């Protein structure tokens, strides 16, 4: 049977001599879309309807194609269908419950697709009648809550979550979905927590539950009081928080594993290597073929947990053996296109298994390490809008972590060392790092490595200014903690200094282009102030006295960059214009760097002239010149730059991500396929029982 005939509910092909036969359920749908009450001539109409297998395509298409005038005529029948769907959820017969859940899903989708430009009140009126909406939604939410918390079929619970996800994501902007006001009033928060706290339920439904909670939290979160935000912020039940962390951890681990497998697949063999070499001649980004699609839903869930609940920070640090999710495929879900990389929910076997086998050869890991690996993949390519949003959200999450005292203590704990294999963007001028050469260090080193990697690899024409601002601010927050607690971190600071100086060099080289779009002076000020922190307070957190020599050497070696920056900001600050004030701030901030350059440069030139040396080596500079700091002016302590000064708005970034989580993006793999599969599965369960 062709797809068109299937959607039309035809049982045999149309011919000139015979009328086409339709499924009985399709005939019953046609009665609903007629003007008269379908139960008028058949009192058992609604009982019979929910015993029939739902034809989702036909029902949704029918709802979408109804004309404006016809809508008014059949509104009573649509309201009645909604009412009887809710009533059917209380039936003992599981087939009726399954069919009612799927019919409700079709109703929500079909009505919203038809009335995209209509107000939320019109949609509510179309679905259930505005005067009865409060009671109808109360009954619906109570029955869904009962099904989720009860001891019924796991398939039914899964369908309940699919229905709720369908309802939450049915509009392009979640905050414009007026029906969710009733979901706020009739909370299912406790039901979601119950799923996450139970090992068995979490394995079956944890992914959907976490995504649903993240979306509900984002409903008008900046406009009104959202009860889900309040409740999530005070959760302190350890099994629940651990369960939430485990769901996020396995989802990110699955993404990382898929990416690694795809990367190895593309790099394996002589033919693949030859293809890559030839392809890289024509394709600027050799890694584009990996076609990475980020899992923004689970990332949003992690952000909300870290941002709203301080107790969740402890979950980030819980160690366990590092294991890749087994590559043995689970039973594939039919009917959908190939699932994009990274959007598949985690393996149920792994979700069900709280105890992982211990092996002395295994590296210990935690949620934070998995997230850092995920971020290192996501942040490689920000050209695509979805990847840009994901990279932005990763940096916001890292900002929240860097601002938390407990997280900072764990990051800098010298007794908790980890070997973190971050993914690095392939570049022609550097060799690929070997996994075995990665040292075991405090986690803050991995965070700094990630920030340095981003700074080095994203100096491009379409400059991601807000990401750079967040990146530099994260470094600043970590340095403030090290200064405050006098933590002498053994880190290769020279890589950071070199990256920051190259960033300033890029800003100078592209001044005209960048100024047309961005305030480059604020970013330059943040970078210069990082150097001021090292110059002024480095004695409290730099590991050795030689670190100061290395710092001075880098500043003096690259003095031309700082000289050019000073000339540029002096030129702009002495002219009238919109950048006069921000440029003058950079001028004042350069006082310490210029003092170092002006102190050592004449000495270096004099030493080179006397000894007939064209260029001093680092060893010569350190031995004969940089140790002479007696006449070096004392470093000037400058007022700190406030976080709010030029800080990109977080609210807009999070809202953008939550808005991108449409029905299609989430349900490509968790709803459209599952509805049909669960329908058959639930019926089989009921009949066999």
264, 192 in Cβ contact below 8 A?
no
Q: If DSSP codes are grouped into helix, strand and coil, which group holds residue 352?
A: helix
- 463 contact partners, CB below 8 Å, separation of at least 6: 510, 514, 517, 518
Using left for φ > 0, alpha for ψ between -120 and 50, and beta otherwise, residue 324 falls in beta
Average pLDDT of the chain to the nearest whole number: 80
Q: What pLDDT does 433 receive?
A: 56
What letter does residue 329 receive in the DSSP assignment?
A: P
Q: Taking the domains of the chain in order of start, what are their residue ranges?
A: 24-221
Please tell me the total number of residues recorded for the chain in this structure.
Answer: 689
Structurally, at CATH architecture level, domain 24-221 sits in Alpha Horseshoe (1.25)
Report the run of H or E that residue 638 belongs to, with start and end.
Answer: none
Q: What is the pTM of this model?
A: 0.83
Query: What is the DSSP code string of 362-424?
Result: SPEE-HHHHHHHHHHHHTT---SHHHHHHHHHHHHHHHHHHH-HHHHHHHT-TT-EE------
Q: Which residue has the tokens 């799923």?
A: 195
Tens digit of each residue's pLDDT (9 = 90 or more) over 278-330: 554 444 444 444 555 778 899 999 999 999 999 999 999 887 666 544 433 33
What letter does residue 622 receive in the DSSP assignment?
A: I
First to last CA, the chain: 32
- 426: buried, middle or exposed (CB in 10 Å: 19+, 13-18, 0-12)? middle
- 357 contact partners, CB below 8 Å, separation of at least 6: 321
Dihedrals phi, psi of 361, to nearest 5 degrees: -85, -10
Tens digit of each residue's pLDDT (9 = 90 or more) over 48-99: 999 989 999 999 888 888 876 777 888 899 999 999 999 999 988 899 999 9
Find the Cα–Cα–Cα–Cα dihedral 149, 154, 158, 164, rounded to 10°: -20
User: Residue 516 and residue 633: Cα distance in Å, rounded?
Assistant: 38
- Counting DSSP H helices and E strands in the chain, the numbers are 34, 4
User: Residue 209 and residue 216: Cα distance in Å, rounded?
Assistant: 11
Query: What is the DSSP code string of 63-128?
Result: HHT--HHHHHHHHHHHHHHHHHHHHHTT-S-HHHHHHHHHHHHHHHHHHHHHTTTS-HHHHHHHHH
The tokens for 609 are: 């002239």
Dihedrals phi, psi of 442, to nearest 5 degrees: -60, 150
Tens digit of each residue's pLDDT (9 = 90 or more) over 393-442: 999 999 999 999 999 999 999 988 898 989 887 766 566 655 557 788 99
Q: What pLDDT does 564 receive?
A: 95
User: What stretches of 115-170 show up as alpha helix (H) in DSSP?
Assistant: 120-128, 133-149, 154-168
207, 670 in Cβ contact below 8 A?
yes
């Amino acid at each position: 049977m062709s797809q068109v005939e299937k959607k039309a509910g035809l049982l045999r092909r149309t011919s000139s001599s015979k009328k086409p036969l339709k499924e009985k359920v399709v005939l019953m749908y046609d009665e609903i879309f007629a003007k008269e009450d379908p139960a008028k001539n058949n009192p058992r109409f609604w009982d019979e309807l929910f015993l029939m297998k739902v034809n989702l395509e036909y029902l949704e298409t029918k709802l979408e194609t109804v004309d404006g005038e016809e809508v008014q005529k059949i509104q009573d029948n649509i309201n009645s269908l909604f009412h009887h769907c809710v009533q059917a959820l209380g039936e003992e017969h599981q087939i009726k419950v399954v069919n009612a859940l799927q019919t409700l899903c079709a109703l929500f989708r079909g009505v919203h697709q038809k009335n995209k430009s209509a107000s939320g009140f019109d949609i509510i009126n179309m679905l259930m009648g505005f005067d009865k909406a409060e009671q109808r939604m109360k009954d619906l939410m109570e029955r869904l809550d009962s099904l989720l918390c009860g001891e019924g079929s796991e398939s039914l619970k899964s369908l309940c979550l699919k229905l709720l996800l369908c309802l939450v994501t049915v509009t392009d902007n979640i905050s414009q979905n007026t029906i969710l006001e009733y979901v706020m009033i009739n909370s299912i928060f406790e039901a979601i927590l119950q799923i996450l706290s139970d090992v068995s339920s979490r394995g079956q439904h944890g992914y959907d539950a976490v995504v649903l909670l993240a979306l509900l939290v984002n409903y008008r979160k900046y406009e009104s009081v959202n009860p889900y935000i309040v409740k999530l912020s005070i959760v302190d039940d350890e099994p629940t928080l651990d369960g939430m962390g485990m769901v996020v951890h396995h989802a990110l681990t699955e993404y990382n594993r898929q990416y690694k497998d795809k990367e190895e697949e593309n790099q394996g063999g002589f033919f693949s290597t030859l293809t890559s070499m030839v392809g890289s001649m024509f394709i600027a980004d050799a890694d584009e073929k990996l076609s990475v699609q980020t899992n923004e839903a689970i990332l949003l869930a992690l952000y909300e947990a870290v941002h709203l609940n301080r107790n969740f920070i402890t979950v980030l640090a819980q160690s366990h053996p590092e294991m890749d999710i087994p590559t043995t495929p689970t039973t594939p879900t039919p009917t959908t296109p190939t699932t994009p990389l990274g959007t598949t929910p985690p393996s149920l076997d792994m979700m069900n298994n709280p105890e992982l086998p211990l092996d002395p050869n295994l590296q210990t890991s935690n949620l934070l390490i998995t997230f850092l690996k995920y971020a290192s993949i996501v942040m490689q390519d920000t050209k695509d809008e979805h990847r840009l949003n994901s990279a932005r959200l990763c940096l916001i999450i890292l900002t929240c972590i860097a601002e938390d005292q407990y997280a900072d203590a764990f990051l800098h704990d010298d007794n908790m060392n980890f070997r973190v294999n971050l993914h690095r963007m392939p570049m022609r001028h550097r060799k690929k790092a070997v996994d075995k050469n990665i040292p075991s260090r405090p986690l803050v080193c991995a965070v700094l490595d990630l920030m340095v990697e981003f700074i080095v690899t994203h100096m491009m024409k379409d400059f991601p200014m807000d990401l750079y601002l967040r990146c530099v601010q994260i470094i600043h927050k970590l340095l403030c903690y090290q200064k405050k607690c006098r933590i002498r971190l053994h880190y290769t600071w020279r890589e950071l200094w070199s990256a920051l100086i190259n960033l300033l060099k890029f800003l100078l080289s592209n001044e005209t282009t960048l100024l047309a779009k961005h305030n480059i002076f604020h970013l330059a000020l943040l970078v210069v102030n990082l150097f001021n922190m090292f110059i002024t307070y480095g004695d409290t957190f730099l590991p050795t006295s030689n670190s100061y020599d290395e710092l001075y050497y880098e500043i003096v070696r690259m003095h031309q960059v700082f000289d050019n920056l000073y000339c540029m900001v002096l030129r702009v600050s002495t002219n009238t214009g919109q950048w006069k004030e921000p440029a003058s701030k950079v001028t004042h901030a350069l006082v310490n760097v210029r003092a170092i350059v002006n102190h050592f440069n004449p000495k270096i030139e004099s030493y080179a002239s006397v000894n007939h040396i064209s260029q001093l080596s680092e060893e010569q500079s350190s031995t004969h010149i940089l140790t002479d700091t007696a006449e070096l002016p004392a470093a000037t302590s400058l007022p700190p730059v406030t976080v709010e000064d030029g800080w990109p708005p977080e609210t807009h970034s999070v809202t953008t991500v939550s808005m991108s989580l449409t029905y299609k993006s989430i349900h490509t793999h968790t709803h459209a396929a599952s509805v049909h599969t669960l329908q058959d599965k639930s019926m089989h369960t009921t009949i066999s029982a």
